[in-house]
Structure 1
């Protein structure tokens, strides 16, 4: 194997390892949020803040990440992002409210850095395989999201590790990713030329109506995802299943969506535009949350889990694919990624806390689930616009 082929192979592995770390710091919290709430005496709205803080970090970090990577290279910036994730997750070993929230915010900053850079890196390094590589890293992301959600309760309660050790264990994949990227940085001595695409001189995406529609689509589908990760176990528990079973059902939803993570962007790229794909995913979302709302039987809850898993994974993968499919260059893909994720996650950040607050006020999950149905309609509306065959440079 030539040095270039070795570097490309390790680069693919590096992208996959980074993607492994973009969800567990968040998805591992939902199943044990009751333990955290009880141990630290948190209200529902403040417990929801544990999944909201990373989104706040996404919103503020995303716009500046491309400029930082222009100065230090995407490899070094990705390494810094992984370091933030590592430190933020390790901080959860300390059962202190302030340290828990501070570590969560730091991990969120690291995740935001990696979130923004990956679409641009894929567009630059694999220009003819954008949809395929997007599917690969989103699917990898989904694998660890599912695992983190599913094993949290068994580790915390079954093994007796408690919520602190359970949440901190996800520092291990972050450490592995850091080691590989240190090697990649050492291997690739001259990165200046390869990183020119990150130099974000073009800011016209902020003036593009299409870019804003993509950002809204990303924000609303992210709203659904992070609310579901944070509160689906509690919603299922309220429907009569045990909290351990609810954790596994949430994990199953994410696992069921894995094929959609890979197939949706690959299939969508084969169409002239992606509006029909958006409409299908939106209808599946409506079926899923409606079934959860009226889910007084196990078959309805299972239907809900299947539909929610498909739509969350598929729409997220499609949103990331849009960042490459709606731009003509890697530079514009990076610009759109920073802009769309900044606005999108700012919109999504209110989700877990808002839903927790609505539950505190109403005392049931009816109003929160109706809210999710309304948001699903918004996903369809903005997604239909984002799915049209055009480029942000032309809009």
Structure 2
């Protein structure tokens, strides 16, 4: 299996402090996006916009992940991951403030800036974890992924109570505190690398290979595309699916969505332990099976929805961890890691941005509207995840 080049020990760049910085950055990589969901109706009423425009406030960041990945990768290569991360957090902060300013244009532009800032973090984190913690990258990928979901849970839980007392604008701006804390600790943890760009040379195997010329990055892109499509499609429509299929009230449907999100923390933390004791490929098999269980289970045995939501929730957290651990394993040096991460995320999130729209469109096209065909579409995307992921990880073992 291909591994990254020899790395400088983490102690030279902050050690435990860098771990804290990674955790604080991870809190910012999903929380500002999901914070808007609980107050979307208040935003729509206040701004006087249609449901379609309001929907852009949740789907635009995912599209930004895709479109901003190439320029973000270029910037990271020019500035180095340390300085690029500070720029990304700064853009995220400006976007957070602008989103809560007066007017529809401010909300949309701010949302796009939040997506662009998060894109930088999406690419920097795998590079830094792989570069500075080569012998602990699996557990740290798990902590990183779990923390993103913890940030989502915090904002989902507290945004509405805050908005009840202050209004939605301040409730969304409150989460700027995560970005400020991340900037301070990230600066302290990485200041000893100031001025270094592409800090690690390659391993002598030649110049960095373009991801588009290699099969494994394409397979990882397809797999991540299947995961992103399914995750965003199910996140958008799962409550309504359960209300229609099982007659659940809004509170019960919300519980199902919570299971899908919360158990991602368990999947993110457990999957690296399995990978460490066995292999990435063996760790991926329960991920693929668990994610397939949600659409498959809702089609065949919808009464067991708590089980299917729980299995898929753990799987989606574990899947993210495995895919980006595989990106690291497929890269010979920091430059390849950065380019491959940008390639996989750019294509994968572009597919993911289609999820909520296509699942909804297929539902509306039914005569009468139904959820069987949309769930079959999600099932097909997850089959792609399973096949492409297994193929990529099998090829890694033979390199």
Counterparts of 2:13 and 2:207 in 1: how far apart (Å)? 32
> Counterpart of 1:280?
286
Contact persistence 1:23–1:142 (CA under 8 A): yes
> Counterpart of 1:183?
188
Contact persistence 1:54–1:109 (CA under 8 A): yes
TM-score by length of structure 2 reads 0.85
Counterparts of 1:169 and 1:304 in 2: how far apart (Å)? 34
Contact persistence 2:272–2:283 (CA under 8 A): no
Task: Name segments (4+ residues, structure 1) moved above 6 Å.
Answer: none
Matches within 5 A, 1:335-346: 335-346=339-350
Contact persistence 1:221–1:379 (CA under 8 A): yes
Counterparts of 2:200 and 2:322 in 1: how far apart (Å)? 25
Unaligned runs of 5+ in 2: 1-9
Matches within 5 A, 1:72-87: 72-87=79-94
> Counterpart of 1:110?
117
Deviation of 1:304 (Å): 2.9
Contact persistence 2:94–2:113 (CA under 8 A): yes
- Say if 2:318 is the partner of 1:314: yes
Contact persistence 1:52–1:353 (CA under 8 A): no
Deviation of 1:203 (Å): 4.2
> Counterpart of 1:171?
176
Deviation of 1:292 (Å): 4.0
C-alpha spacing 1:103/1:59, structure 2 compared with 1 (3 Å): same
Counterparts of 1:369 and 1:32 in 2: how far apart (Å)? 27
Counterparts of 1:287 and 1:82 in 2: how far apart (Å)? 36
RMSD: 2.9
- Say if 2:300 is the partner of 1:325: no
Please say which of residues 225-234 and 238-247 is displaced more in the overlay. Answer: 238-247
Contact persistence 1:146–1:252 (CA under 8 A): no
- Say if 2:221 is the partner of 1:215: yes
Per-residue CA distance 1:224-281 (angstroms, 9 max, x = gap): 222233333444455544445544542332222212102213312443550x443322
Contact persistence 2:18–2:190 (CA under 8 A): no
Look up the SS of the partner of 2:196 in the other structure.
coil
Contact persistence 2:77–2:198 (CA under 8 A): no
